[in-house]
Amino acid sequence: MSYAYYPGCSLKGSSKAYEESLLAVFETLGVGLAELDDWNCCGATAYAAVDETKAHVLTARNLALAEAATPGPAPVELVAPCAGCYMALLRAQRHLKENRAVGERVHGALEAVGLRYEGRVRVRHPLDVLVNDVGLERIGDAVTRPLGGLKVACYYGCLLVRPYAPFDDQRNPTSMDRLMRTIGAEPIEWPLKTRCCGGSCCGGPLVGTIREAGLRLIYVLLKDAKRRGADVLATVCPLCQFNLECFQERVSREFADPVDLNVGFFTQILGLALGLDERSLGLQRMLRWQLPEPRPVLATAPGGTYARA
Amino acid sequence: MKRTSGSWKGWRRVKRESRLDPTFADEIAAMAGSDKLRECIQCGTCSAVCPLSAYMDYTPRRLIAMTRAGLKDDVLSSLSIWVCASCYACTVECPKQIPVTDVMHALKRTAVREGMHPKRFAVPVLAREFVRDVDRFGRNTESRLAMKLYLKTRPILLLKDARLGQRLMRRGRMSLRRESVRQRAQLRAMLRAVEEVEGAS
């Protein structure tokens, strides 16, 4: 199995740990990721707020580059780990197909520089690839260090499931919960799993733009995850991770209520279960990372009842 | 005039028919790629699911009603459209399948084009600076973008956040090195091609 890989700007900047852990996990599971040569920014939601057609042109260049790198009639699987990029790529594909005027302009712009996009690209999120292509069984077999009932708040955020939800339920996604259970963690019941973190505001941290509103959104999520007993919050998006991790001190001060929670990428937690070391998962880059000792877990019999020793 | 409560917003102005723009709703609907805007039943689901409506001057439901009525100036100069975080909760839950988030994007574009966006409010500044960087370099450099945003909107916050910046830098999560594509000329040529087509039409 091999995939084209579109990192996006954040994975080269504030979310290096996401890229490091993603590459390490995929390598361990024997899945190839080939970075797209000379990829450009996806435009996020901020570019669309200024010029939508040009935003699609930016995205279409990446799609065309992915096709050029994989010739032939076979579909190209393009992995985009950032939820913002993921949605921007899906949106551009959708608009190119459905809106003829936009499609003509975008294809015209590609032709002007000798590029071509036929529509062979399938945009995938790593969570989708792990759960649906690699499969939970294979991941379960690769686990060397089960997580001993680590309580994980599986946070999907907004753009992974909205407005499109190609691989999971839109209102109650469960892919990550199932993945976490497979590796010995215990996902908490969490109705807020798709609530906006405030970080995706037009491509920039809302906390930097409308700070009062952003801090409240962060507070609601962290507080509720803690109340439900989470040891760690797992994200699928660099903006969510940054937003929920880096402003904890300020949130604590603002609401006079200490909230401190480990916030990491789902690939980092998966990597721990696969026995990867902290450095290769980029854990030294986190502002806070103190997991509890693994709890002893009762063995369960196949029927779901506790087995007797 | 006596101020009576904290929520006092001055006398409500009477809107006159002559100030309405009857073509506004059609223009926005066309930009959002959906004529469903006309079918809004004003149920308020969008405002209810919006995590940010409490911070808006007009809730999404009201914005749609105002857009439909043609209150162009009030809609385009409102803060609401810039408070929207594009989380698509409204789009997914709307019982009439109105793409509310795309409507918000269309309103943002129109506000920028007509120069009616709030000038020192950070979101439009961010959008503009982001576009400028991406047009020139093909990628955005988070740290530089953040820096510009601080300087142009709330310089005082830069001091408050300096410690966070330091901590991130020590962990290799922030660098001022400029990110760029190699084929910058190719990217610019593509964007120019679109501008020419749009200029001609």
Longest distance between any two alpha carbons in chain B, whole Å: 63
Angle at B88 between CA B87 and CA B92, to 5 degrees: 145
| Chain A residues closer than 8 Å to B33 by CB | 95, 98-99
Spatial neighbors of A103 by CB under 8 A, at least 6 apart, are A95, A96, A97
- Domain layout of chain B by residue ranges: 17-113, 122-200
In angstroms, the CA A283 to CA A269 distance is 10
- Give DSSP secondary structure letters for A84-142: HHHHHHHHHHHHHHH-HHHHHHHHHHHHHTT----S-EEEE-HHHIIIIIIIHHHHHHH
pLDDT at A304: 53
User: Hey, what CATH class is A2-124 in?
Assistant: mainly alpha
Each residue of A257-290: pLDDT tens digit? 999 999 999 999 999 999 999 999 999 999 999 9
Contact B168 A45 (CB under 8 A): no
Instruction: Tell me: pLDDT of A94 over 90.
Output: yes
Each residue of B148-166: pLDDT tens digit? 877 777 777 777 788 888 8
Q: Which two tokens stand for residue A276?
A: 């990867």
Contact B149 A208 (CB under 8 A): yes
Spatial neighbors of A1 by CB under 8 A, at least 6 apart, are A30, A31, A32, A133, A134
Q: How far A303 CA sits from the closest chain B CA (Å)?
A: 38
CATH 3.90.1150.10 matches A145-285? no
Q: What's the predicted TM-score (pTM) here?
A: 0.91
Higher pLDDT, A254 or A173: A173
What is the topology classification, in CATH, of domain B17-113? Fumarate Reductase Iron-sulfur Protein; Chain B, domain 2 (1.10.1060)
Portion of chain A with pLDDT greater than 90, in percent = 77
Q: What residue ranges of chain B have pLDDT lower than 50? A: 1-6
Among A17, A52, A196, the residue with its CB nearest the CB of B85 is A196
Contact A58 B127 (CB under 8 A): no
pLDDT at B7: 53
Q: Are A190 and A307 in contact (CB under 8 A)?
A: no
Among B89, B141, B149, the residue with its CB nearest the CB of A196 is B89
Each residue of B117-141: b (16+ CB within 10 Å) or e? beeeebbbbbbbbbbebbbebbbbb
Report the complex ipTM.
0.88
Contact B190 A53 (CB under 8 A): no
In angstroms, the CA A163 to CA B101 distance is 9
Residue numbers of A between 118 and 157 with CB closer than 8 Å to B: none
pLDDT at A205: 44
Among A50, A284, A286, the residue with its CB nearest the CB of B127 is A50
Three-class secondary structure of residue A234 per DSSP = strand
In DSSP terms, which residues pair with A234 in a beta bridge? A154, A264
Mean pLDDT of A232-254: 92
Q: How far B10 CA sits from the closest chain A CA (Å)?
A: 24
Higher pLDDT, B49 or A200: B49
Contact B194 A54 (CB under 8 A): yes
Among B109, B168, B181, the residue with its CB nearest the CB of A14 is B168
- Domain layout of chain A by residue ranges: 2-124, 145-285
Each residue of A171-190: pLDDT tens digit? 999 999 999 999 999 999 99
Contacts of range A45-48, beta carbons closer than 8 Å, 24 or more positions apart: A45/A84, A45/A87, A45/A88, A45/A200, A45/A202, A45/A203, A45/B86, A45/B105, A46/A202, A46/A203, A46/A204, A46/B126, A46/B127, A46/B130, A46/B131, A47/A203, A47/B127, A47/B130, A47/B131, A47/B134, A48/A88, A48/A91, A48/B105
Q: Which of B134, B144, B168 to probe by mutation at the A interface, max A CB count within 10 Å?
A: B134
Instruction: Tell me: pLDDT of A47 over 80.
Output: yes
